[in-house]
Amino acid sequence: MKPKKLHQENKNPILFCTDLKKDYQDGDKIIPVLEKVNFSVMPGESVAIVGRSGSGKTTLLNLLGGLETPTAGKVVLNDTNLQSLSERKRGYLRNRVLGLIFQFHHLLPEFTALENVCMPLLIQGLSVHTAKKRALSILDKVALSHRISHKPATMSGGERQRVAIARALVTEPKCILADEPTGNLDNHSADIVYDLMMQLIKEIGTSFVVVTHDLSLAKRMDRIVSIDRGVLNDGELDAGANS
Ligand SMILES: Nc1ncnc2c1ncn2[C@@H]1O[C@H](COP(=O)(O)OP(=O)(O)OP(=O)(O)O)[C@@H](O)[C@H]1O
Ligand SMILES: [Mg+2]
């Protein structure tokens, strides 16, 4: 059975939000950023979120990952309402269920590539030996076996992004949230990183939510949703329509 078909058999979304609203406060002024967003991702499904700069994409991803608190509405990850959890328990759930890939990788600068990829497994309580074995295996898959002892500052942008991808996937999470994961790379490097990411995601059978400006990359996902000034339009664009 292909992992991608999993979501057709399991009817519960791995991640969803209902009537999600986010306002930011700027002094006395309230800045509405997201309005009544309803969104869900099924197990094994890939979804692209597209929209103009400032439309609320990163804010939505941060809320879905429990990194920020909504003004109203709820986010449910793996059948658990994130708002019902303490900060610590949210972190615990995130470590076990989610993989996060940020635009600027957010690798820990004082640690090597290998140590960065080991980190989520050590947080899960795995032994150093097991963590290293798994980290080395995934670093090999992203073609970085020769860079494991390098710290982020001594790696290229594409290499850093591949370390970030390895770190997000090493726990074999149920869902990956990626914010412009190739945004700071040239087209050629972005294509290589995307190919690798898609291959690993299919191997693991994980769900994938990716924010991107690049429509050709977005079209490689099962579904595309667009966001405009904080309002999400689901199904407006069909991933397969023009491909
Ligand atoms: N902490 C904050 N305080 C106040 N306003 C914020 C804050 N974070 C984001 N915003 C505002 O919310 C809006 C949406 O920001 P967000 O980062 O979600 O946009 P985006 O769609 O990810 O844009 P980009 O494509 O440029 O990354 C913007 O107008 C931004 O200025
Ligand atoms: Mg953003």
Q: What pLDDT shows up at residue 102?
A: 84
Q: In this structure, which residue's CA is closest to atom 2 in ligand 1?
A: 24
Nearest to 150 by CA among 179, 114, 182: 114
Q: What pLDDT shows up at residue 238?
A: 45
Cα–Cα distance for residue pair 163/179, rounded to 1 Å: 15
Assess if residue 242 is contained within a domain: no
Cα–Cα distance for residue pair 67/200, rounded to 1 Å: 25
Total of domains in the chain: 1
- 56 ligand 1 Cβ < 6 A: yes
Nearest to 224 by CA among 49, 2, 26: 49
Range of the domain at 203: 3-237
What the block records as the tokens of 112 is 């090597």
Spatial contact of 40 and 78, defined as CB atoms under 8 Å apart: no
3-state per-residue secondary structure call for 34-85: EEEEEEEECCCCEEEEECCCCCCHHHHHHHHCCCCCCCEEEEEECCEEHHHC
Cα–Cα distance for residue pair 75/181, rounded to 1 Å: 23
Spatial contact of 117 and 155, defined as CB atoms under 8 Å apart: no
**CATH number for the domain harbouring residue 117:** 3.40.50.300
Assess if residue 182 is contained within a domain: yes
Assess if residue 20 is contained within a domain: yes
Assess if residue 122 is contained within a domain: yes
Cα–Cα distance for residue pair 212/84, rounded to 1 Å: 30
Assess if residue 74 is contained within a domain: yes
3-state secondary structure at position 24: strand
Distance 221 CA to ligand 2 centre (A): 19
Q: In this structure, which residue's CA is closest to atom 19 in ligand 1?
A: 54
DSSP string for 157-178: HHHHHHHHHHHHHTT--SEEEE
Assess if residue 196 is contained within a domain: yes
Using alpha carbons, list the distances in angstroms from residue 61 to 31, 80, 158, 240: 18, 17, 22, 23
Assess if residue 243 is contained within a domain: no
What the block records as the tokens of 147 is 């860079």
Ligand 1, from 34, 57, 69, 102: best to mutate by most atoms within 8 Å of Cβ?
57
Torsion, Cα 13 161 233 29, to 10 degrees, reads 110
Per-residue pLDDT of the chain (243 residues; tens, 9 = 90+): 445 444 445 579 999 999 999 999 989 999 999 999 999 999 999 999 999 999 999 999 999 999 999 999 999 999 999 999 999 999 999 999 999 998 777 899 999 999 999 999 999 999 999 999 999 999 998 889 999 999 999 999 889 989 999 999 999 999 999 999 887 778 887 888 888 889 889 988 999 999 988 888 899 999 999 999 888 987 645 444 443
